[in-house]
Structure formats: structure tokens, C-alpha cells
Structure 1
Amino acid sequence: MNYFRQILRFAKPYRKYGYLNIFFNVLYALFSALSLIALFPMLNVLFKTVPPIKVAPEFTGDLKAFILDSVNYKLNTYIESNGSDGEMKALLFSCLLIIGLFLLKNVSNYLAMFFITFYRNGVLKDLRNALYKKILSLPIGYFSDQKKGDTMARASNDIQEVQWTFLSILELIVREPLTIIFTLIAMIVISPKLTLFVFLFLPIMGFFISYIGKKLKKHSDRAQKEQGNVLSIIEETLGGLKVIKGFNAENRFFKTFTNATDRLNKYMNSVLNRQNIASPMSEFLGIIAVSGVLWFGGIMVLQEKSLDSGLFIAFLASAYNILTPAKQISKALSGVKRGDAAAERIIDILDAENSIQDAPNAIEKTSFDKSISIGNVSFKYEDELVLKDFTLNIDKGKTVALVGQSGSGKSTIANLITRFYDVNDGTIEIDGIDIKEISIKSLRSLMGIVTQDSILFNDTVANNIRIGKPDATMEEIEKAAKIANAHEFIKNLPNGFDTNIGDAGGKLSGGQKQRLSIARAVLKNPPIMILDEATSALDTESEKLVQTALENMMKNRTSVVIAHRLSTIQNADSIAVMQKGQIVEQGTHQELLNKKGVYQKLVEMQSFD
């Protein structure tokens, strides 16, 4: 339960509900024990299986005898004081007492469950919020090694497992053990000798329950990982449905999915079979214990005459009453094992190291005044260097374009300037200040990003545009849309700016989605603009519209343009040609053509295309 204990820190704000749950569980356990044993001493007196006691008893050290004699005396006194109807009134009183005890037991049970609801759901809410906040704060590099579906499974299935485990924990710690303890106290009062005989069976039951629990955690962990794999396949399938259908790859993906569900089915069967065996095994062992008590107690009643028959029946009922909480404890233990496996997967994310963090005395930079300087930067994602001693200076108000073949490191520059990743060697400075010394929030507030893939959300047009400026007015949003050359098509949508664009903007064309991305960057109005192949995925007509929008946006701004299509960067102040992580040529469009080097070959290849 090491990982589960770490989850318990989220329970602190809801301690009062936990205490109330414990209080009413104590009452439940007490009334559960009393409701079984209260009736039998009365029935012995009513049906005259024991002689009536006329004188108030005195305590001589024998607690059991004192309690039984007191009940006998009080009941006989009540019967005699009520004349001929005394016995019927005493019987009615006994029935009402039993009803009252069972009512108190069930009311206590309801109130315990009532308060655990607020406790459990509160922890669930805070845990889910903390996990989502951590996901937002982790660097992009963390998720390059993770499957989205597995992360989704941890945020949904695993948290749900932990939620239900909280109920099991409180049952395990308070309710069921107390029910057993109070019942055992009653049994000891009835017959210490017979109770000692019952205790011989408890270690055997504990061994089997512990063995099943250890196996259960191992298989639960496998099942939860496989659930994440299944979700990953579904997420990838939905994202790549056009490709799957276009290449007639349905059978291949279906086979991959069925293999994953077969493994999940195997692990889940193993988990459930081990979980299901815990309860019947504990009941079977309990029945063996009760049968042993019946045999041993029968000798005490029939041969030794050391135990009253009515008390023996009460003892048997109490012994059987232990079976239900024992079964619940075995179920709770299996739940705790599953919950601990789920907690481990959640803690893995919550405790994941965030390599991209603010410096202790990070600067809040609110303006861009001079230049961006990239000095002798080297960087690698894994083993091979993507950038090698890369140096570039970008003055304020200038547009610098990065061109080159795929894999030359162009997009990596954008990732490093925005601190999505940190450099391995060298420095990136804004106005002479290392970006590691600038707070991440203020650094990114200076920048607007338009990527090749238009990342939009299942929301309205207006809300997608105002992501960078949540308090923007409709006038500001419309102005940004006009600059981005998007206002015309937005007006023609069914509900204009209030039109929902669907999942990932699926209701819009590629050019329309890209112009919304540009409008979003325009509305933010940052001094630095980073365009990462913003037109490479568009057709010629859309490219012209988007290119016009980009030119409008880049006016009076410092821009870093990463381009595949060279026609889009001819007017750049400076073009850096990259090969294998280094700059091999730099200059204006005409200067580079005059050099008749790498850039001219790239232009000729695209002209030929």
C-alpha cells in the first residue's frame, strides 16, 4: 500500500467526512453485535428455560453471569408488575427492542455510506484535477515516450479504481474489523473456551486471503496497462481513420485491436477469478469454523453441561455473523491490491520529473526590445545530435526564414526558442537574457505560434480564436479574423462566430483551420511570431489566402519562419539554409540565388516540381 498512502494526501481536506464515517461505522458495528445477542437471554426467561430470579443480583466478578442474571431479574420484575398480560408485554418489548437495534444498525450504516460519498468523490475530484494539472505542466518531451491512450486510462480507469478503493480502505480499517471485534467480545462473554476454539481458524483464513491478494495486484497491474494500450489503439484509429480506409488497412488494425483485447480479456479473467475466489473461500473456511464450533459447543451443551443451550444458539449466530465482515474484508483486501496497482500508475505521472521549470529567481519579461540570439546551440532528442553548434541572430522587426531538407533541424529551433525543450549546450537569449532565466509564462506570452498542423478544439469559432486572450471582446476577435483573412468564411458559417467547429475543427477545410490558427495568434498580438511550416499542408488557392494572412500578421513583428515551400519566404530579411543541424548558407533570396549553392538547388527542385 506504499503508493496508495501517497494518494491519501488528497484526503486531508475531507477529513471531517472520514471521521463521521468512522463514527457511524463504530455505531454500526456495535448495533450489529447487540442485535444478535440481545434476544436470546430474554427468550430464555420468557420460555422459562432458566429459573426466574426474584432478588437483584450483585456483581461478584463473573461478568457473563451478572449480565444474564440482571436481564432475568429485570424481565421477571416487569412481567410480575403487569399481571396476567405481563408475559405478552415482555414478548412485545423484546420484539420492539430487536426492531430498534436493527433500525439503529441500518441508520448508522446509511449515515456511514452518506458521509463516505463526499469523502470519496472529493478525493476523486482533487486527484483528477491534480493529474490534469500535472499533464499540462509536463514538458512535451515527456509525452513523446508515452501512449496517449495509456495516459487517458490513468486519468479515467485508474482514478476510478482508486476512488472505490477508498471505500474498501475504510471498511477494512474500521467497519468490518469493529463488527468482528464487538461480536468476538460478545462471544467471549458467552464462552471464552468456545471463542478460543474459533481463533484456531483465523490464521488459516488470513493466509489464504493474503496469498490471493498478492497474486491479484500483479495481474491487476497488467490489466490496467493493457487497458491503456486498448485506448491508445482506439485513439490512433480515430485520428488516422482516413489513412486506414484509404490503404484498406482495416483488417490489419482490427487484428492489432483484437490481439490487445485478447490480452486484456486474459488478464481481466485472471483478476476477476482471483477476486471472485476470495469471498467464497472465506465463506467456506467460515462454514468449516462454524461446523467445528457446532461440534465442540455441542459437547459443552450435551455432555459437559457447561453451556446453556440458548446461549449456545446466540454464540452460533454471532460466529456466523463474523462470516459477512470476513468476506467483506477479503473483498476489500482485493480492492486495495487493485487500487494500489492503479495508484502506482497515477503516482508515476504525479511524481514525474519536470525538466522544464522556472529558475529560482526567474525574470518576468513583458517586452521584446532588441534581438533573439542563438549561440553555439547543440541539441539531441535521443542519441544523435539534431543541432550542432548552431548560431543565429534575429533582430527586432526582422523576418528570418529557416529552410532545408526534412530532418535538418528547422522545427527543433522553434521548439527550443519556446522552451518546449531545453538546449543541451549553448544559449538562447532574448535581449541578452538567457531564456532559462525568464519565467516560462512570460517568455511564451511574448510569442505567437502557428504550426503546420492546425490545432483546434471542439468549441466555437470565437472560443478557438480567444484561447490566447480569454477576455477578448467580439470586436477584437472580428478584427483578428479580418487580418487573418478568415472573416468572410466565418460569416457564412451557420452560426457565424458561435458555430461549433467539431472535434479538431473537423467541420472546416485545411485552409479555414489554418486561418483560424493565424487569427488566434493575431489576437494574442505578440511581438515575436513563430511560423512552423504554416502553409506546407495547403493547396495553392488556400496557400495564397493564408500567405496573405501571414503577411498581414507579420507586419511590424519579429518573425521566425520555418518553410518547406520556398515561394512563401522570398521577401524574408534573411534566409538561413540548414543541413544536418548547421547553417550552410545565409542571406536574402537574391543573394542566395547568386551564390548558386544549396539554396539555388532547392529552388530549382521546387520549380521543377
Structure 2
Amino acid sequence: MKYFRQILVYAKPYKIYGFFNIISNIFYALFGTLAFVSLMPMLKVLFKSAEQITTPPVYNGIAKLGDYIENSINYFITQKVNSEGELKALLFMIVIIISTFLLKNIFGYLAMYFITFLRNGVLKDVRNDLYEKTVDLPLAYFSEKRKGDIIARISTDVLEIQHSFLSILELIVREPLMIIFTVIAMLALSPQLTLFVFIFIPIAGFIISLVGKKLKKQSDSVQKEQGHFLSILEETLGGLRVIKGFNAEGFFNTKFKESTSRFYKFSNSLLNRQNLASPLSEFLGIGVIAILLWYGGSLVLVDKTLAPDAFIVYMGLAYNILTPAKAISKAIYGVKKGDAAAERVLEILKTKSPLADKPNALVKTSFDSAISLQNVSFKYKDEYVLRDFSLEIPKGKTVAFVGQSGSGKSTIANLLTRFYDVNEGTIKIDGIDLRDITKKSLRDLQGLVSQDSILFNDTIKNNILLGLTNKTDDEIVAAAKIANAHEFIKDLPKGYEDNIGDSGNKLSGGQKQRLSIARAVLKNPPIMILDEATSALDTESERLVQDALEKMMQNRTSVVIAHRLSTIQKADIIVVLLKGKIVEQGTHSELIANNNIYKKLVEMQSL
């Protein structure tokens, strides 16, 4: 329950619905008990067993409550029969019974009506916070987590919490109240018989608790396995072209079936244990009823201390305890499952981002002089990718980084955008450490065009506008023209309102990349970061994209991560990296003249 209590804070904005739910449940439990108690006057009329009492009874304290209630009923029946006759008295009793059952069900509906708003409100807020936290967490977090597991936590785990939330409110309010009111009525009818019942209830409760001990652990296994096969599904959909191309359908089918088989096994174990709750509690309840029949029957037939009509009502009340008792046992199992789900959800919500802004972080609105990397060392895991790296990038200059794969080029882009923080050293903008600037204002100063054109299932217009709200249609068109994208956009059926499909799969690679450039152009930042923006393109697309990039880089500070060296010959500074260290730097002509690593790389690509 410790995790579940932490989820309950999400109910605070909806506490008014919880209050009305509790009030409705109180009346539901009250009228649920009165519905059975109201059978007693009808039985007395039918069996003609009501004692003739002509004067109102006197209340003589809680010890004589049962006698007072019975005498009051007998007095009421005597008055009715004498004034209106037996048949009309019976009809009146039936109307009372119908009215109590009607009121019970009305308040039962109202309780469910109010709890619906509370449950769905909690579901909405938890999901919103989970999504916001997921977006806020650093990229490093997701390199260690399966996407499918994150999706499972936001979808099914939160849904499990929602269902369990209803269960715990029933556990706390409605069902215990029903039991309390029923027990009070039973005590009023026969304290001796009720005390006899309480000997057996703890035994039944202990047996039920034994069944639910392993439920949280089993529920956790089910939820983890669900996250695993969702990850396989996500990977399959993302890599379907490669899977088909390598005839790997069988391998992935086997992988998925192995996961669903484990899910099948865990789910069967969980549900079988959970399904045992209802029949077990009912069987134990019927066992208690059987003992009551024997002992209560002896009180009626042998001791003659209990009236037959009171015994029939008492048995109805005893059976009335079974329904809430079953609901409580199921709710206990639900809470155990919900606690496992809450633990998985809270694991994300309570994860602290190492890249969180400092309390007094600076909001930087301009770039004035230079970007400075001073003795920077960085590693993703154990091996350092950059080691004691230092470089000055003056404002207005284009600096290109080249080198073999794994030399640390893209890492520089990740550090400049603060997707990761340096392990040692500092990166500064205008002399201010990146860690002392808010992430939002830092990234407002930067535009990013990556090797993979990340587009969304939306219109071209909204993909170019990403994150911007104050741009006109004319500005969007102007940005598209600079990116050499306007020509193909205007030929689409709906132009800028055309939907480009999932990940932009309706467009070619070059078209997607030009949209990414248009997005960066529209943002109009002073610093542009291009991470191998042309490496995946054909020659014609590369020419169009390169032309767009050159237009975009005019009068800006540009950091270019280059794979194709032909695209960076006009750069002001070219930095050659090898195993995270600078081995050469200079202009294209200077590096060619040096006749070193850069020249060899150029010659290899020109072959």
C-alpha cells in the first residue's frame, strides 16, 4: 500500500467528488441494511406473530435495543392492522420494502456517478504527469529503458491504478459501512447469535489473506512482460523494412511468441489466484451461514429465545454481509495489483533528471561572442568518447567536425545542446557555463538538423512550425523556400496542409531533410547545429539540401558534424578528430596543404 498512498495525492483536486461519493455510500449502506430489516414487519403480518402492543414502547438503553426495536415494530403493526385491516397493512409494508430498496439503488448509482469523475480525473492527471516527465527526462534514461515498457507504464499500469482506486474506496467506505450497519442490526436482533458469528469471521479472513500474499509479485511480472512484448512490437513496426529484407520474420515471430507465452503463464497464475477470491470468500461465508442455521435454529426451536420471523430476517442480514465481504476480498487483491502498478509508475515520476535547471539558472536571450569548450571529457558508459577537449567557436563562424565513426563528432553536438552534461571541464556561451543557463533558453538559441529527419504524423505546416506559435503563413513559406522545400510542397494535393504520415513516410529522404531544415530556418536561431545532415542522401538531394544549408548558415554561428567532406569545404574552421582528440584544425586549403589525416579522408571519399 505504500506506493498506492503516494498516488492518492492525485485525488486532491477531485476531493469534492470523493466527499459526495462517501455521503452516497453511507446512505447506500444504511438503506441496504434497512431493506432487510423492513422485511420483519411484513413477515409478522403474514405469520400473524406480532404481539399486540397498544402503548408506545419506552427506550431502556443500548442493552435493550433489540427489545425496543421489536416492540416498536409490534406497536406499529398493531396500530396499522387495527385501523386499516391486515391486507392494507401488508400492502403498506410492501411499499416500505420497495422504497428502501429503491433508495439503496439510487444512492448506489450516485456513489458510482461521483467516483467516475474522481477516477478518470486521477487517470488523466497521472498520465499527463507521466508524459511530461517522460519528455523531460534526459536521452540517457531511455538508452537504458525499453520504449514498450514506458508505453506499458503510461497505458496499462495507469489503467490498473484507476481500477484499483475504485476498489480501495469501496474497501474503505461502502462495503465496511454495509457490514457495520448490518452487524448493528444483527446485534439488535440477537446479540448471542452475532457473537457466535464473530468467532468464525477471523478464521475466514485469515484463509482469504493467505491466497493474496503473492499477488503483488505476480502482478509485477505480468506488467513487466507486457512492457517487453510491447517493446518487440514497437521495434518490429519501426524496422519492418529490414525484417522483411533479411527474411527475419520467423526470428521475430519466435521472439514475440516467447514473450506472449511468458505473459500467458504469468497471467494465468495471477488471474487464477485472483479468481479464487470470490468463490473462496463465498464458500467460507456459506459455511458461516450453515453454522448460523444450526445454532440459530436451536435458539428458535429449543431455547425459544428467538422469534421465527426475526431469525429469517437475521439470516437475510447474515447473507447480506457476504456481498461486501466478497467485494472487500476482491478489492484487497485489486489493491495489491494496483500497488505493483503504482510502484512502476512512481519509478518514472520520482526519477530525478541530472539535467534539471538550477534554482537560479539564467534565462539567456542572446548570443554575443563565442562558444568555448574547455578541457571537456565525456563518456556514455565506461570508455571516454572525448578526452581533455578544448576549442573556441567564435560568433558568426562555421566550424566543421570531421573524423572516423566513434571519434566524438556527434557527442559534441549532444553536449552543445545539453542532451548530456560533461563529466569534466566546462562548455560556455559568452563566458557562462551551460549548466547555469535554463535548458529552454539555451535551446531557444539553437537550431538542430540531425542525420535522421525526425518528423511527426501531422501536416507539413505543423511540422515546420514545431514548438513555434507566433509565425505567419508567409514566414513558413519563406523558410520553406530557403530550404528548397517550397517547390515540392506546392505540388502536393493539399500543399502545406498535407499530412505526411507516420515519421513522414509519404516523403522521400531529401524532402524530409529539407523540411527539417525549413523548421530550423523558421526558428531563426543565432546558433545552428547540423549533425551529418546530408550523409543519408543521394547526390541530387544532397545538392538541394547543401544549397539550403548554405543559405541557412549565412550570418550565423554554425557547428557542422560532417560525414561527406565535400559539404564543408567552405567552413571557416575544420576540426579533425581522432578518438576524442583534435589532431588537426584549419581551413580546407590549409589542411590539404598539411598532407595529413584530413587529406587522406578527402582522397578516400573522392575515389
TM-score of the alignment, normalized to the shorter chain, above 0.5:
yes
For the residue of structure 1 that corresponds to 2:303, the secondary structure is coil
User: 1:378 maps to what in 2?
Assistant: 377
Contact map agreement 2:572 2:587 (CA 8 A) in 1? yes
AA in 2 matched with 1:94: M
CA distance in 1, matches of 2:147, 2:362: 34
User: 1:212 maps to what in 2?
Assistant: 211
Deviations 1:525-555 (A, max 9, x none): 0000000000001111111110001001000
User: 1:446 maps to what in 2?
Assistant: 445
The correspondence for 1:64, drawn from 41, 53, 66, is 66
**C-alpha displacement of 1:271:** 1.0
CA distance in 2, matches of 1:541, 1:394: 31
Larger mean CA deviation between 299-308 and 151-160 belongs to 299-308
**C-alpha displacement of 1:45:** 4.1
Larger mean CA deviation between 297-306 and 109-118 belongs to 297-306
User: 2:78 maps to what in 1?
Assistant: 76
**C-alpha displacement of 1:46:** 4.6
**Counterparts of 1:388-407 in structure 2 under 5 Å?**
388-407=387-406
CA distance in 2, matches of 1:55, 1:433: 93
Contact map agreement 1:42 1:71 (CA 8 A) in 2? no
Deviations 1:547-581 (A, max 9, x none): 00100100000000001111111111111000111
Q: Which runs of 5+ in 2 are unaligned?
A: none
CA distance in 2, matches of 1:404, 1:208: 69
User: 1:481 maps to what in 2?
Assistant: 480
**Counterparts of 1:259-278 in structure 2 under 5 Å?**
259-278=258-277
User: 1:352 maps to what in 2?
Assistant: 351
User: 1:40 maps to what in 2?
Assistant: 40
Q: Given the two structures, how large is their TM-score scaled by the length of structure 1?
A: 0.98
User: 1:530 maps to what in 2?
Assistant: 529
Larger mean CA deviation between 592-601 and 545-554 belongs to 592-601
CA distance in 1, matches of 2:303, 2:604: 107
User: 2:517 maps to what in 1?
Assistant: 518
Contact map agreement 1:42 1:72 (CA 8 A) in 2? no
CA distance in 2, matches of 1:490, 1:260: 43
User: 1:188 maps to what in 2?
Assistant: 187
For the residue of structure 2 that corresponds to 1:500, the secondary structure is coil
For the residue of structure 2 that corresponds to 1:531, the secondary structure is strand
CA distance in 2, matches of 1:59, 1:256: 75
CA distance in 2, matches of 1:412, 1:191: 80
**C-alpha displacement of 1:303:** 1.1
**C-alpha displacement of 1:211:** 2.2
AA in 2 matched with 1:331: K
CA distance in 1, matches of 2:430, 2:595: 34
Over aligned residues, Cα RMSD in angstroms? 1.0
Larger mean CA deviation between 425-434 and 43-52 belongs to 43-52
User: 1:387 maps to what in 2?
Assistant: 386
Contact map agreement 2:157 2:342 (CA 8 A) in 1? yes
Runs of 4+ with deviation above 4 angstroms: none
Q: Given the two structures, how large is their TM-score scaled by the length of structure 2?
A: 0.99
User: 1:10 maps to what in 2?
Assistant: 10
Contact map agreement 1:408 1:579 (CA 8 A) in 2? yes
CA distance in 2, matches of 1:362, 1:400: 28
Deviations 1:37-61 (A, max 9, x none): 2121342245322432223322334
For the residue of structure 2 that corresponds to 1:401, the secondary structure is strand
**Counterparts of 1:152-551 in structure 2 under 5 Å?**
152-551=151-550
Contact map agreement 1:400 1:561 (CA 8 A) in 2? yes
CA distance in 2, matches of 1:301, 1:81: 31
CA distance in 2, matches of 1:469, 1:529: 17
AA in 1 matched with 2:601: L
CA distance in 1, matches of 2:57, 2:233: 76
Contact map agreement 1:419 1:440 (CA 8 A) in 2? yes
CA distance in 2, matches of 1:548, 1:205: 80
For the residue of structure 2 that corresponds to 1:49, the secondary structure is coil
AA in 2 matched with 1:19: F
Contact map agreement 2:45 2:86 (CA 8 A) in 1? no
**C-alpha displacement of 1:229:** 0.6
AA in 1 matched with 2:117: F
Contact map agreement 1:468 1:520 (CA 8 A) in 2? no
CA distance in 2, matches of 1:377, 1:531: 20
AA in 1 matched with 2:41: P
User: 1:116 maps to what in 2?
Assistant: 115
User: 2:575 maps to what in 1?
Assistant: 576
CA distance in 1, matches of 2:486, 2:495: 9
**Counterparts of 1:97-136 in structure 2 under 5 Å?**
97-136=96-135
Deviations 1:488-508 (A, max 9, x none): 000011100000000000100
For the residue of structure 2 that corresponds to 1:530, the secondary structure is strand
CA distance in 2, matches of 1:297, 1:252: 67
AA in 2 matched with 1:366: T
For the residue of structure 2 that corresponds to 1:490, the secondary structure is helix
For the residue of structure 2 that corresponds to 1:400, the secondary structure is strand
AA in 1 matched with 2:355: I
CA distance in 1, matches of 2:124, 2:432: 40
For the residue of structure 2 that corresponds to 1:467, the secondary structure is coil
Contact map agreement 1:45 1:72 (CA 8 A) in 2? no
For the residue of structure 1 that corresponds to 2:583, the secondary structure is strand
CA distance in 1, matches of 2:370, 2:338: 53
Contact map agreement 1:468 1:523 (CA 8 A) in 2? no
Contact map agreement 1:41 1:68 (CA 8 A) in 2? no
CA distance in 2, matches of 1:311, 1:411: 84
Larger mean CA deviation between 55-64 and 223-232 belongs to 55-64
CA distance in 1, matches of 2:502, 2:20: 44
How many pairs align?
A: 605
CA distance in 1, matches of 2:478, 2:560: 23
For the residue of structure 2 that corresponds to 1:536, the secondary structure is coil
**C-alpha displacement of 1:67:** 1.2
Deviations 1:424-462 (A, max 9, x none): 100101111111111111110000000000000000000
Contact map agreement 1:134 1:349 (CA 8 A) in 2? yes
Contact map agreement 1:375 1:426 (CA 8 A) in 2? yes
For the residue of structure 2 that corresponds to 1:561, the secondary structure is strand
CA distance in 2, matches of 1:606, 1:204: 82
CA distance in 2, matches of 1:402, 1:51: 103
Contact map agreement 2:50 2:77 (CA 8 A) in 1? no
**C-alpha displacement of 1:212:** 2.3
**C-alpha displacement of 1:603:** 1.1
CA distance in 2, matches of 1:338, 1:58: 52
Deviations 1:349-399 (A, max 9, x none): 000011002122111111111110001000011111110001111111100
AA in 1 matched with 2:285: G
CA distance in 1, matches of 2:495, 2:41: 81
For the residue of structure 2 that corresponds to 1:313, the secondary structure is helix
CA distance in 2, matches of 1:37, 1:468: 65
CA distance in 1, matches of 2:58, 2:496: 88
Contact map agreement 2:41 2:93 (CA 8 A) in 1? no
CA distance in 2, matches of 1:46, 1:73: 16
